[in-house]
A and B are shown apart, each in its own frame.
Chain A
Amino acid sequence: EIVLTQSPATLSLSPGERATLSCRASQSVGSYLGWYRQKPGQAPRLLIYDASNRATGIPARFSGSGSATDFTLTITSLEPDDFAVYYCQQRYSWPLTFGGGTRVEI
């Protein structure tokens, strides 16, 4: 099974600042990596799929990059809604797996 390692575990930033989140895969997943945001008490929401494609309705401040084993989610200017937990997920092989999450806190 492919293990996804996210770093850092926690990111402490202020509104308006830039956030850079990392996801590293234990083996190549090509470009088959996605990102989700989960606000407290809510279901996750897809932000980015296939490494760099924004999902429906996702604002341009979210961008994804990377390939093979190293991926990055960038949020250019944090808004209050963005203080949440972010998960990466791979769809390259079974079982589908998620990273352990990065908490972005104020």
Chain B
Amino acid sequence: QVQLVQSGAEVKKPGASVKVSCKTSGYTFIAYYVYWVRQAPGQGLEWVGWINPNSGDTKYAQKFQGRVTMTRDTSTTTVYMDLSSLTSDDTAVYYCARSFPYSSSNWFDPWGQGTQVTVSS
């Protein structure tokens, strides 16, 4: 079955960077976009961006432009999200999710289990 498994929780200091991984399995990796969505404590969902695993093309929400980089490794079917210049406002659970039902539909299913990123001095 389709699975997305994310890396573990991170604690970072303000100004640092964090890199979260999302290991995919159970489908053709290059055939579906992967998205990143975050959720601050007790808050709603916020789209961060997407990556096309086939081409490596990316699109980021303007809010994160210049601070976020999404990459992929086709040999390990893993997608990465790197977020720099962290502030306390970046404290959130970060989710990866695959496109559903086709390659770039901009609906998200299934999702990874989430990675807690905490930014604290």
- A interface residue numbers (CB < 8 A to B): 34, 36, 43-46, 49-50, 55-56, 87, 89, 91, 94-101
Cβ contact within 8 Å between B45 and A87: yes
Residues of A within 8 A of B107 (CB): 34, 46, 49-50, 55, 89, 91
Interface residues of B, dominant DSSP: strand
Interface size of B by CB at 8 A reads 22
Q: Given A34-B107, A43-B113, are A94 and B44 also a contact pair (CB < 8 Å)? A: no
Within 8 A of A (CB), among B77-112: 95, 97, 100-101, 105-112
Residues of A within 8 A of B110 (CB): 43, 45
- B interface residue numbers (CB < 8 A to A): 44-47, 59, 61-63, 95, 97, 100-101, 105-114
Residues of A within 8 A of B109 (CB): 45-46, 55-56
Cβ contact within 8 Å between A43 and B112: yes
Given contacts A99-B44, A100-B44, 19 further A-B contacts (CB under 8 A): A34-B107, A36-B108, A43-B113, A43-B114, A44-B45, A45-B110, A46-B100, A46-B109, A50-B107, A87-B45, A89-B107, A89-B108, A95-B62, A96-B47, A96-B61, A96-B106, A98-B44, A98-B46, A101-B44
B33 to chain A, nearest CB (A): 12
30 contacts between A and B (CB under 8 A): A34-B107, A43-B95, A43-B110, A44-B45, A44-B95, A44-B108, A44-B111, A45-B110, A46-B109, A49-B101, A49-B105, A49-B107, A50-B107, A55-B100, A56-B100, A56-B101, A87-B45, A89-B45, A89-B108, A95-B61, A95-B63, A96-B47, A96-B61, A96-B106, A97-B47, A98-B45, A98-B46, A99-B44, A100-B44, A101-B44
Residues of B within 8 A of A96 (CB): 47, 61, 106
**How many Å lie between the Cα of A55 and that of B99 in the bound state?**
12
The 7 A-B residue pairs whose C-beta atoms are closest, nearest first, are A46-B109, A43-B111, A91-B106, A96-B47, A98-B45, A95-B61, A49-B107
Residue of B44, B63, B114 contacting most chain A CB atoms (<10 Å): B44
B51 to chain A, nearest CB (A): 14
A81 to chain B, nearest CB (A): 17
